[in-house]
Chains A and B, each alone.
Chain A
Amino acid sequence: MRRNPRELEKTHAVLTRRAMLLGGAQLAFVGALGLRMRHLQLEQADEFRLLAEENRINIRLIAPARGEIFDREGRVIAHNTPSYRIVMVREDAGNVEEVIGRLSQLIELDDEQLNRAIAEMERSPPFLPVTVAEQVSWQDVSTVAVNAPALPGVAPEVGLTRVYPRGSHFAHVVGYVGPVSDFDLSRIDNPDQLLRIPRFQIGKVGLEAKQEDMLRGKAGTKRVEVNAAGRVMRELDRREGEAGADVQLTVDAELQGYVQARLGEQSASAVVMDCETGDLLAIASSPSYDPNSFVRGISVTEYNALLEHSYRPLASKSVQGIYPPGSTFKMITAMAALEEGLIGPDDTVYCPGHLEVSGRRFHCWKRAGHGWVDLQNSLKQSCDVYYYDLALKVGQDKIAAMSQRFGLAVRHDVPMSAVARGLAPDRAWKRRVHGEDWLVGDTVNASIGQGFMLASPLQLAVMTARLATGRSVAPRLIKSVNGVEQPIRDGEDMGLNENNLRKMRRAMYAASNDRRGTGYSSRVIDDTMRIAGKTGTSQVRNITAAERASGVIRNEDLPWERRDHALFVNYAPAENPKIAVSVVVEHGGGGSTAAAPIARDITLQALFGGPPPLAAYPSKDRNRIRAQQERLRDARPLADTEGSGRA
């Protein structure tokens, strides 16, 4: 079919026109694409370059070395030692089961950990190393290294583990570290990025926890190039972190070890404090536990055994244990009365063995009574009625105020866990807490450190140091940080009447050194080392009238947890006080028999800087003391093994 040429021309013209139109539209679009490229690649180039770098570069944290802890002589208390673990990379291993099979023939593997590792390997990307065995010995590490060709993907890795060479001696002071838990994270507002590092360890208890910020150090960083799947391609650069600060304690590790050993397996605690500086030379609590087992990961049975032990080994009794101070509180009652000028030191009170107060009879510990007693005799023989009388004259509020001046019912600033505040009750307190009016009987009870009165061994030591010096000495646990001496909180003068203090000290001296004193049996006969102390026996139960009628049951016949607490506080040497000591034996019975001998041993050990000469003890005690010293020396194999450190 031939077509009309004119029609052909016309259709061709239409085609050309429309082709030009469409071509123009296409060119316009190409122009738009070009502009878009210009916009993205030239105008926003910097921004996108930055985003590309952010994609590519990952910042990884490097864990800093934790600060070490030393005693006042530079002996190591906590340090970091290399520990080895075996890791495995799935993609390098190829056949995981086969390699693990070969590995288990070479070294011992924990089944539980192995199963966890296999599960983790299946979940995580194939290039991430997974820990197969932890806390591996150097022997095993070398075995793995030697057999490397047969163990593709398996490699030893080195890390740092916290070690406490003195084991249980410092468990209550220093505490221990452990891996960060979700609970830890939830307690911290703005957690350090370091805490997100797997297996990073932080202080859990004690000084490790309290001084966490100081000990932790600052994280280092390394920049690595990663791909989209998160695999590290190479390290670009690294900046090392800052190791944590080294902390030196005021504690003398040798003395601490001795005190722990002397307390033995009793449920007891003791504090030795420097009277001048407030330095805590020993702060012990028994029974104790091995903090290293917590770092390694304690087993459930082991942990439950600690939790269920009736002597509460996990509790740091020296600071968190609070007890009715008993007769050790009598000095405070007396000081309150003396300072108020209500009595003179030589005024006497008649003790018939009890005191009637608003129709209720309060007994003296001595049923027959002490007769006429003045301050010195009453303290020496620990007459209760004398102090009932004083307290009724001076009133509870004055006594509570005096308690606080002596550091009772005050939370001392010591970096240990759960430092207790204790209690020195007054009228307002009882109204607030119990909603009841203060009764005269409450005053009577409180006057001899019973009733509501509560104090910790640390507070009792502070009280004794303040009695010895007349200055408000405050406890100090950290001697220096990174070699920088920490300030001694200057114990300013308490503004007490020096005459009253002197009378008080003389009474305490008499209690320890006069033939009729309650602490006489635990006296020291070396004249330069004499101690001035006070016994205390605090009831943990009420003695009922019926019981009195039928005869009070002897303490030893009671079940352990209902026996009296035994307490003793002293300072020494009496003429020139250097140290203050407090000892509390939970449910130990009488202060003079259970607590005072321990306090004497500790005092002499501290003053002599080692085992004291037997000549310091009364001659009839020497044989027993010699045997005891030998026994304690054998029981402390740690004493000189780990002495070398940094001073």
Chain B
Amino acid sequence: MSYLEYTVKSVPTGLRKILYLNWPLVILLIGVASIGFLMLYSVAGGSFSPWAEPQMKRFALGLTVMLVVAMVPIWFWRNMAVVAYCVSILLLLAVEFFGVVGMGAQRWLDLGFMRLQPSELMKITLIMLLAAYYDWLPAKRTSRPVWVMIPVLMVLFPTYLVLRQPDLGTSILLLTAGGGLMFLAGVHWAYFAAVIAAGLGLVTTVFQSRGTDWQLLQDYQYRRIDTFLDPASDPLGAGYHITQSKIALGSGGWTGRGFMQGTQSRLNFLPEKHTDFIFTTLAEEFGFVGAVSLLGLYTLIVVFCVATALATRDRFSALVTLGIALTFFLFFAVNMSMVMGLAPVVGVPLPMVSFGGSAMLVLMVAFGLVQSAHIHRPR
């Protein structure tokens, strides 16, 4: 069904919409964000500054933004998809030319009152555009090569721009989320099988080529892969982060070393302890119980999103919600894999917990869309 067929009168109006919010999802988000505040308070050595307090303000702002986005009917957002995508692309191009360089990458746009990270925005607008595309595209054309190529380009262009910044983590997220959405939209299996086969082939070739005349990567790139596969081989160099992170996690044991008692984070052995590696502090101080609890909360958020998506008959709503759920999942899955030594360190924050403005605001906008889809679902 499309929104044109809605019985618009059955959709709640005005402030009554608030009653129709997906409240369990709101509570889960507040719960996860609170864990974030707690951890930021702890890694600052028991202080609200410099991280916990700004993070709380941002979250308050984020909640407001989420509500505002939720109030606006989902069909408005559908119509905005192309515009939003184009704006995001323009911003990414602007970063390319006017961006602020920080931490070895060019990611930010200085707007005066805040620093905007367009790649974060891109994650959500790409999903909106793909969802709108497949809402518009008749089902029987979904798997035709020409109609497959169009979304592929929609994904690859921003991915390429982000990769140039360089921001490997976000590019992987964009690529995976885009691919996931196409899979959900019903693109034929064969395409995915082909891509996966080609990918595996490429990886094999890259490794096979090592040490031969036609070596595909530089030596240092191979060494990075080696370090990822065996961090102990270089404990003070590139493997330092991952080794220290595993030590922190492992020393947590069942129930952890206690709030603010984590020696690894308190004595600064952990890198980036307030951003990408904040999960290690949680795991060190609250142990297996704390770590699994957070994982459980995250899983519940994804489950609620998927449930919301499957409950709606509106194709755009369903695709956007599933896409957002997938992106959210990718965030925490990649981050946790990274700190637990299952994936290379690519710089993906822990959603809603890591210190950082852009990422949290964008996520709250995304959940605003999920809420909007929930409130404005056809009844």
- Residues of A at under 8 Å CB distance from B? 1-3, 7-8, 10-12, 14-16, 18-19, 22-23, 26-27, 29-30, 33-34, 36-38, 40-42, 44-45, 47-49, 51-53, 55-56, 225-229, 233
- Please determine whether A227 and B268 come into contact, CB atoms closer than 8 angstroms: yes
**B11: CB under 8 A from chain A?**
no
Q: Kindly provide the distance from the CB of A52 to the nearest chain B CB, expressed in whole angstroms.
A: 4
Give the CA-CA distance A320 to B302 in the complex, in Å. 88
Give the CA-CA distance A38 to B250 in the complex, in Å. 9
Q: Give the contacting residue for A55; candidates B180, B263, B288, B306; CB below 8 A.
A: B263
- Please determine whether B264 and A27 come into contact, CB atoms closer than 8 angstroms: no
Give the CA-CA distance A606 to B288 in the complex, in Å. 81
Q: Kindly provide the distance from the CB of A55 to the nearest chain B CB, expressed in whole angstroms.
A: 5
Cβ < 8 Å to A, chain B residues 187-232: none
- Please determine whether A26 and B302 come into contact, CB atoms closer than 8 angstroms: yes
Q: Kindly provide the distance from the CB of B262 to the nearest chain A CB, expressed in whole angstroms.
A: 9
- Please determine whether A52 and B248 come into contact, CB atoms closer than 8 angstroms: yes
- Please determine whether B2 and A48 come into contact, CB atoms closer than 8 angstroms: no
- Please determine whether A15 and B186 come into contact, CB atoms closer than 8 angstroms: yes
- Please determine whether A52 and B264 come into contact, CB atoms closer than 8 angstroms: yes
Q: Give the contacting residue for B251; candidates A33, A36, A38, A51; CB below 8 A.
A: A51
Q: Given A49-B253, A55-B267: A37 and B291 within 8 A (CB)? A: yes
- Please determine whether B250 and A45 come into contact, CB atoms closer than 8 angstroms: yes
Closest residue of chain B to A26, judged by CB? Answer: B329
- Please determine whether B292 and A34 come into contact, CB atoms closer than 8 angstroms: yes
Closest residue of chain B to A55, judged by CB? Answer: B269
- Please determine whether A56 and B333 come into contact, CB atoms closer than 8 angstroms: no
Interface of B is mostly: helix
Closest residue of chain B to A14, judged by CB? Answer: B186
Closest residue of chain A to B263, judged by CB? Answer: A56
Q: Kindly provide the distance from the CB of B168 to the nearest chain A CB, expressed in whole angstroms.
A: 20
**B369: CB under 8 A from chain A?**
no
**B287: CB under 8 A from chain A?**
yes
- Please determine whether A48 and B246 come into contact, CB atoms closer than 8 angstroms: yes
- Please determine whether B295 and A30 come into contact, CB atoms closer than 8 angstroms: yes
**Inter-chain contacts of B246 with A (CB < 8 A):** 40, 48
Closest residue of chain A to B243, judged by CB? Answer: A51
> B276-304, CB under 8 A of A: which get 1 and which 0?
00000001100110011001001100110
**B66: CB under 8 A from chain A?**
no
**B150: CB under 8 A from chain A?**
no
Q: Given A11-B315, A37-B340, A228-B269: A30 and B186 within 8 A (CB)? A: no
Give the CA-CA distance A51 to B333 in the complex, in Å. 26
**Inter-chain contacts of A19 with B (CB < 8 A):** 184, 306, 309-310, 318, 322
Q: Kindly provide the distance from the CB of A640 to the nearest chain B CB, expressed in whole angstroms.
A: 58
**Inter-chain contacts of B139 with A (CB < 8 A):** 7, 10-11, 14
Q: Kindly provide the distance from the CB of B178 to the nearest chain A CB, expressed in whole angstroms.
A: 13
**Inter-chain contacts of B287 with A (CB < 8 A):** 41
Q: Give the contacting residue for B186; candidates A18, A42, A44, A225; CB below 8 A.
A: A18
**Inter-chain contacts of A38 with B (CB < 8 A):** 288
Q: List 10 A-B contacts (CB under 8 A).
A: A8-B313, A19-B322, A33-B295, A42-B254, A44-B250, A48-B251, A49-B251, A55-B244, A55-B267, A229-B268
Cβ < 8 Å to A, chain B residues 78-101: none
Additional A-B contacts beyond A49-B250, A51-B250, A227-B269 (17; CB < 8 A): A3-B2, A8-B1, A12-B313, A14-B139, A15-B184, A15-B185, A15-B186, A26-B333, A29-B333, A42-B254, A42-B288, A44-B250, A45-B251, A48-B248, A49-B253, A227-B267, A233-B267
- Please determine whether B299 and A41 come into contact, CB atoms closer than 8 angstroms: no
- Please determine whether A41 and B249 come into contact, CB atoms closer than 8 angstroms: yes
**Inter-chain contacts of B254 with A (CB < 8 A):** 41-42, 45
**B27: CB under 8 A from chain A?**
no
Give the CA-CA distance A157 to B269 in the complex, in Å. 31
Q: Give the contacting residue for A30; candidates B284, B309, B319, B333; CB below 8 A.
A: B333
- Please determine whether B247 and A37 come into contact, CB atoms closer than 8 angstroms: no
Give the CA-CA distance A162 to B214 in the complex, in Å. 68
Q: Kindly provide the distance from the CB of B234 to the nearest chain A CB, expressed in whole angstroms.
A: 16
Q: Given A33-B336, A45-B252: A56 and B295 within 8 A (CB)? A: no
Q: Give the contacting residue for A40; candidates B4, B244, B249, B263; CB below 8 A.
A: B249
Give the CA-CA distance A561 to B344 in the complex, in Å. 79
**Inter-chain contacts of B186 with A (CB < 8 A):** 11, 14-15, 18
**Pairs A-B, 6 closest by C-beta atoms:** A48-B250, A52-B251, A227-B267, A228-B268, A45-B253, A41-B288
- Please determine whether A37 and B295 come into contact, CB atoms closer than 8 angstroms: yes
Closest residue of chain A to B269, judged by CB? Answer: A228
Give the CA-CA distance A36 to B186 in the complex, in Å. 32
**B183: CB under 8 A from chain A?**
yes
- Please determine whether A225 and B342 come into contact, CB atoms closer than 8 angstroms: no
Q: Kindly provide the distance from the CB of B42 to the nearest chain A CB, expressed in whole angstroms.
A: 16
Q: Kindly provide the distance from the CB of A21 to the nearest chain B CB, expressed in whole angstroms.
A: 8
**B337: CB under 8 A from chain A?**
yes
- Please determine whether A41 and B291 come into contact, CB atoms closer than 8 angstroms: yes
**Inter-chain contacts of A11 with B (CB < 8 A):** 139, 186, 315
